């Protein structure tokens, strides 16, 4: 029997393997989503996308990317409310489309998280070094601040920050939530300061021409900006650690997208309004824009804020894959030993393993163009989730849905179309890498996952499978069957009572 949980919570009762502790609330989820989405990208990506992709229309790029993500978030929310388990898109896909698509979704999301975490750790190291130099005049030796391919020996700051954050993840998820909420509050405070300082110095002439790269530039900018929005998937992976996932997950997923979009739009509008967009294509566009209006003093504040933003973003990107692989391990897709949890209810062994991989990649290798795989892998998963909502509405229309996607199938179809549209902006080499990685995943599934995977049962079956209706035919001997018939009637009432 599952251990008793807090009032209002849904107990985590996995069929096999460890159990995660439910301790997250609605505010925790929104903070985790915003903490992942609003990372250092808001201090860097906005300027690069404006200078090279969309110009002042980067505002519309963020609106477009946010709108597509909002459509996907609605689909996520329906499945998340029905399936309060770790694994996010992987878990949903397994319950709707089967093992092979689910494994591919999980495989590509794992690549998304691992590459993103390594890239963020390398970026954190660079910003941390710049902050030390700017604030204290301390320059880190290249031997310990860059990998071998960049002329160093090891990127030690990147390794150390990954180790520190993995330590936070191993301790307890409530500690993770407290750290994230604190860092999110600091980041939002700095962004409000940027908007307040820059707004009085807006020059509408900087917004002309508004579409220097044409309408296509809006889509290209949205594809680049889409990387910033991938964090809401982290909220879905935390389902098994949420006190009331059926109620709070939709709030966390949709709320984080809405808050992040508002912040990105406001900051990008201020940046392109106070300085010509062509001057923002550097590593510090916010500092560049504010220096143009005589507020260069805030540059150091922005630098520190960037380090803070990257820290919380890296924390959440390290959190996501541990819960994803936890779900795949519990299902037998990867070795089951990985899903064992420690005394604090966290997957210690898995966290340490993934942390070691991320630290090794960040410390020794350059990421380069491989980071583009983050976007295409996530878009693939988002399309599958939207398809899963459509399939499940047809195959299990009577299942209880605490949250229902409005205006279906229009929302799901638009989400699919939007993701496919953004994917068409990627280069052919990115698609080739995606195909190669997916083929490797198929090979791993055929070699290990297919023979070790467990049947869909336990809470996953309860949430996704069609309701089981007892056989109405009378029992041959009604006298001894009285108790059983009563039990069946009760089961049928409980099963169908919440159907929408």
Report the mean per-residue pLDDT for the chain: 77
End-to-end CA distance of the chain: 28
Cα distance between residue 100 and residue 88, in whole Å? 16
Predicted confidence (pLDDT) at residue 492 exceeds the cutoff of 70: no
pTM, two decimal places: 0.74
Residues of the chain with pLDDT > 90, as a percent, come to 12
256: phi then psi, degrees, rounded to nearest 5: -65, -35
Least confident of 141-145, 212-216, 233-237, 358-362: 233-237
User: What pLDDT band is residue 456 in, cutting at 50, 70 and 90?
Assistant: low
365: phi then psi, degrees, rounded to nearest 5: -120, 150
| Res 310: pLDDT | 80
316, 57 Cβ separation under 8 angstroms = no
Helix (H, G, I), strand (E, B) or coil at 1: coil
Predicted confidence (pLDDT) at residue 254 exceeds the cutoff of 80: yes
Query: Where do the structural domains in the chain lie, given as residue ranges?
Result: 26-453
212, 277 Cβ separation under 8 angstroms = yes
User: What pLDDT band is residue 372 in, cutting at 50, 70 and 90?
Assistant: low
Predicted confidence (pLDDT) at residue 461 exceeds the cutoff of 50: no
How far apart, in Å, are the Cα atoms of 342 and each of 36, 148, 222, 235, 351? Answer: 25, 36, 41, 22, 11
User: Of residues 289 and 234, which shows the higher confidence score?
Assistant: 289
| Res 40: pLDDT | 59
**Structure letter (DSSP) for residue 333:** S
Residue range 172-181, pLDDT digits in tens = 666 667 777 7
| Res 60: pLDDT | 93
| Res 493: pLDDT | 31
Quote the distance between the C-alpha of residue 435 and its chain's center: 22
Tell me which fold the domain 26-453 belongs to: Amino acid/polyamine transporter I (1.20.1740)
Predicted confidence (pLDDT) at residue 344 exceeds the cutoff of 70: no
User: What pLDDT band is residue 84 in, cutting at 50, 70 and 90?
Assistant: low
């Amino acid at each position: 029997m599952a251990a008793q949980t807090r009032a209002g919570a849904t107990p985590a009762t996995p069929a096999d393997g460890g159990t995660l502790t439910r301790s997250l609330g609605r505010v925790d989820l929104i903070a985790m989503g915003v903490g992942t989405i609003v990372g250092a990208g808001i201090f860097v990506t906005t300027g690069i996308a404006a200078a090279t992709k969309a110009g002042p229309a980067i505002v519309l790029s963020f609106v477009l990317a946010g709108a597509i993500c909002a459509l996907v978030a609605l689909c996520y929310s329906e499945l998340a409310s029905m399936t309060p388990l770790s694994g996010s898109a992987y878990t949903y896909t397994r319950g709707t489309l089967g093992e092979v698509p689910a494994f591919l979704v999980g495989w590509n999301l794992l690549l998304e998280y691992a590459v993103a975490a390594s890239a963020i750790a390398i970026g954190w190291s660079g910003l941390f070094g710049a902050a030390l130099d700017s604030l204290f005049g301390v320059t880190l030796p290249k031997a310990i601040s860059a990998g071998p391919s960049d002329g160093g020996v090891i990127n030690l700051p990147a390794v150390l920050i990954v180790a520190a954050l993995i330590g936070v993840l191993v301790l307890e998820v409530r500690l993770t939530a407290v750290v994230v909420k604190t860092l999110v509050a600091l980041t939002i405070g700095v962004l409000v300061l940027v908007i307040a300082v820059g707004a009085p110095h807006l020059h509408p002439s900087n917004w002309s021409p508004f579409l220097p790269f044409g309408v296509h530039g809006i889509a290209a900018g949205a594809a680049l900006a889409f990387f910033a929005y991938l964090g809401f998937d982290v909220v879905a992976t935390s389902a098994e650690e949420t006190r009331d996932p059926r109620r709070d997950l939709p709030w966390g997923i949709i709320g984080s997208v809405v808050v992040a979009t508002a912040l990105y739009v406001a900051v990008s509008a201020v940046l392109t309004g106070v300085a010509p967009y062509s001057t923002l294509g550097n590593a510090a566009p916010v500092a560049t824009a504010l220096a143009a209006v005589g507020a260069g003093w805030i540059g150091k504040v922005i630098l520190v804020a960037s380090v803070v933003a990257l820290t919380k973003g890296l924390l959440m990107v390290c959190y996501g894959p541990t819960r994803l692989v936890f779900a795949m391990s519990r299902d037998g897709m990867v070795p089951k030993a990985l899903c064992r949890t420690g005394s604090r209810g966290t997957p210690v062994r898995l966290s340490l393993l993934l942390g070691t991989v991320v630290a090794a990649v960040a410390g020794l290798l350059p990421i380069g163009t491989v980071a583009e795989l983050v976007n295409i892998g996530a878009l693939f998963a988002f399309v599958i989730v939207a398809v899963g909502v459509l399939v499940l509405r047809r195959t299990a229309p009577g299942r209880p849905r605490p949250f229902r996607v409005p205006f279906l199938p229009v929302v799901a179809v638009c989400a699919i179309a939007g993701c496919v549209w953004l994917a068409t902006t990627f280069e052919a080499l990115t698609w080739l890498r995606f195909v190669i990685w997916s083929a490797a995943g198929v090979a791993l599934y055929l070699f290990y996952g297919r023979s070790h995977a467990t049947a869909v049962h336990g809470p996953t079956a309860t949430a996704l499978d069609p309701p089981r209706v007892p056989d109405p035919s009378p029992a041959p001997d009604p006298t001894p069957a009285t108790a059983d018939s009563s039990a069946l009637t009760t089961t049928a009432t409980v099963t169908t009572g919440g159907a929408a």
